[in-house]
Structure 1
Amino acid sequence: MPPEIQWYPGHIAKAERQLKEQLKRVDVVLEVLDARIPLASHHPQVAEWIGSKPRILILNRADMIPESVRQAWQAWFKRRGEVPYFTDAQQGQGIRAVSKAAQAAGVEMNRRRRDRGMRPRPVRAVVIGFPNVGKSALINRLLGRKAVASARRAGVTRQLQWVRISESIELLDAPGVIPSKLDNQTDAVKLAICEDIGEAAYDNQHVAAALVDLLVELAYEEILRSRYGLDPLSMTGEEYIHALANSRYQGDAERAALQLLNDFRKGLMGAIPLELPPTN
C-alpha cells in the first residue's frame, strides 16, 4: 500500500482560524483553483465558510490545459450556474476580467449600503485556495506590482495581509488552506503531482508512478513514449519509474521520479489536464 498523503502544518491551522475570523469582514471571495485539477483543488469547506457571499471562481494556470478542455470546463461550470474565470497569473492573462467582476460585486455591495443610509467604501475581497495555486501571483497582477511574495512551491504565504488594489478594492492575501484530513486520496495524489501541497506530505516515487498511470488513463501515453523512449503501456507506473532510472539515471529512482514530476510541473510535457469535466 502506498503511504497516505496527509499534510496539515501548524501555520495552515492557524491561518484557517484567522481566515474564518476575517471572512466576517469580507464582501466577495475569489476562490483560485488549479485549471489542471479544478475539482481536486477545490476546498470542500469553502461553501460552508462563505455562506451567501458572492464568489468569483478563478481557474489559474489555464495555459497548462488545452483550449478544448478549457471550453469543456466552461460549459460544465455554466450548467451548474457558475462563471469560471480562466487566468494565467504568471503572464497576466485574464486578470482584467477578474478585476471587473470584483468591482461589480463592490458596486452591488455599496448600493445595499446606500439603501441602508451608509456611506460607500472599497469592496473587501479575499483570495483563497490551496497552497501554490497562484494566489499571490494573481494579487500582484491585480495590483500591477509585486506586493506579496510568490513562488512555485507550496507554503510561501505564511500570514494574512490586506493589500489595497485601488480606490475601490482591498484584497486579503491568505495562506493556502487545505482540509485537515485529505479523505480522497485520488485527489490528494493529483494535488501532489501539481505541487499544490507541501512536499513533506508525499513520497516522490509514489507520486511520479501515479502520474504515469494517470497519463496512460487519460490517453497521453505517447508523450511519455516520445519524451523518455519507454512505452508505459507495457508496465505499471512504478515499473516505469524504475525503467527510466535504469535507462538514464544509473538506477536512481528518486532522481527519475523528480525529473518526471518537474517536467510535468514546468509544462515541458505540454498542456496536460489531469481532470476532465464529469459527464453527469
Structure 2
Amino acid sequence: MSSPAIQWYPGHIAKAIGQLREELQRVDAVIEVLDARIPSASRHPELGRWLGEKPRLLALNRVDCIEARDLKAWQEYFLRQGIPVYPTNGRSGEGVNRLKQAVLHLGQSVNTRRQQRGMRPRAVRAVVVGFPNVGKSALLNRLLGRRAAESAARPGVTRQLRWVRLGGELDLLDSPGILPPSLPDQQAASLLAICDDIGEAAYDPERVAAYFLDHVLRVQPQARSLLQRRYGWPDPIPPGGAAVQELAERRYQGDPQRAARQVLNDYRKGLLGPLALELPPKA
C-alpha cells in the first residue's frame, strides 16, 4: 500500500523554528529527542545543518515501546556513526540521570574555556528539541526533577520556547515540536502519524491504520498472531484497507473510521505489545 498523503504545518511551529535557530547560538549542547519506535522518521532533516559543530546527544525516548533486541540494534547503529545515544523513558525516568550527566560533561569544556579567560563558571545551557509528541516535555521534567513544562499525550502542547533552570548547573530550553516546512518523505510522515507525532488534522485515520497494518507485518511479521487474536482476523490477514473495513463491519456498525482509530490507539497505548516500526539498516 502506498503511503497516505500527510501535510501539517501549524503557524506556531514556523515561528518557533525561527526563534529556536536564534537561541541555538546561545546553547552549549543539544538534546535531540527521538521516538524509539521510529528513530529515523523522527529525526529532523534540517537540524544537523542548523547545529554545525555544536555537540548533540540523541535521547532515544519511549524505549518501553520496543523490544530490547531492537533497541540494541539501534544503539549499535548510531554508535557506528559516532553519535552518542541515550535510551530513555520520560514517563518512568529510566535512563534520564545518565543523559543528564552526559549533558553536564559536554558543558564542562565551556566552563574550562571561560576559566582560561578569567571568567566565572556558569550553568550549562542545553536545548531539548524534536518532533511533536516524542516526549520532550516529559523528559525535561524528569531532568529537572519537577513538573516545569506542560506535558500531554498529544502533539502541539508546547507552543513557545522557554528557559528552565536546574539549580546552578544546568539551564534547559524547552521548545515546541519542530516539523520541516514540507514532508516530502511520505513514508516517514506516515510513521509519524501512526505514532501520534503529527496532529490528526494532518491525515485520514483510515488510510493511516491500513498503512500501519501492512507496514508492521512487513517489519515485525511476528505481530501477525497477536493481531489475529486481538481483532479476530483470519490467516492470512487481509491487506490493510480490507482488514480495517472487515473489522468495521464486524465490530463498529460498518464505520471504518472508528475501526481505524481503535487500531491506532491500541498501538499507541502499547496494547499490541512493544513493536518498533523501523529497524536500522544492516551493517
Shared fold, TM over 0.5 = yes
Counterparts of 1:166 and 1:274, CA distance in 2: 38
Counterparts of 1:232 and 1:150, CA distance in 2: 40
Instruction: Name the counterpart of 2:234.
Output: 231
Identity of aligned residues (%): 54
Counterparts of 2:273 and 2:225, CA distance in 1: 12
Instruction: Name the counterpart of 1:100.
Output: 101
Counterparts of 1:2 and 1:193, CA distance in 2: 11
The 4+ residue runs of structure 1 with deviation greater than 6 A are: none
Given candidates 228, 252, 256, the residue that maps to 1:253 is 256
Q: Is the 8 A contact 2:155 2:198 kept in 1?
A: yes
TM-score by length of 1: 0.97
Counterparts of 2:201 and 2:235, CA distance in 1: 28
* SS of corresponding position for 1:56: strand
* Alignment map for 1:266-277 (pairs within 5 Å): 266-277=269-280
Measured after TM superposition, the shift of residue 116 of structure 1 is: 2.6
Q: In the alignment, residue 234 of structure 2 is paired with which amino acid?
A: D
* Alignment map for 1:197-208 (pairs within 5 Å): 197-208=198-209
Counterparts of 1:2 and 1:169, CA distance in 2: 42
Given candidates 244, 247, 254, the residue that maps to 2:247 is 244
Q: In the alignment, residue 89 of structure 1 is paired with which amino acid?
A: G
Q: In the alignment, residue 164 of structure 2 is paired with which amino acid?
A: V
- The 3 A distance-change label for structure 1 pair 2 and 279 is closer
**How many residues of Structure 1 are paired with residues of Structure 2 in the alignment?**
280
Structure 1, residues 67-103: CA drift from partner, whole Å, max 9, x if none? 0111111111111111210001011111000110111
- The 3 A distance-change label for structure 1 pair 200 and 85 is same
Measured after TM superposition, the shift of residue 117 of structure 1 is: 2.7
Counterparts of 1:204 and 1:233, CA distance in 2: 23
TM-score by length of 2: 0.96
* Alignment map for 1:53-202 (pairs within 5 Å): 53-202=54-203
Q: Is the 8 A contact 1:232 1:240 kept in 2?
A: no
Counterparts of 1:223 and 1:131, CA distance in 2: 29
* SS of corresponding position for 1:264: helix
User: Which has the higher mean CA deviation after the structures are superposed, 214-223 or 47-56?
Assistant: 214-223
Any stretches of 5+ residues in structure 2 without a counterpart?
none
Counterparts of 2:235 and 2:36, CA distance in 1: 25
* Alignment map for 1:6-85 (pairs within 5 Å): 6-85=7-86
Q: In the alignment, residue 56 of structure 1 is paired with which amino acid?
A: L
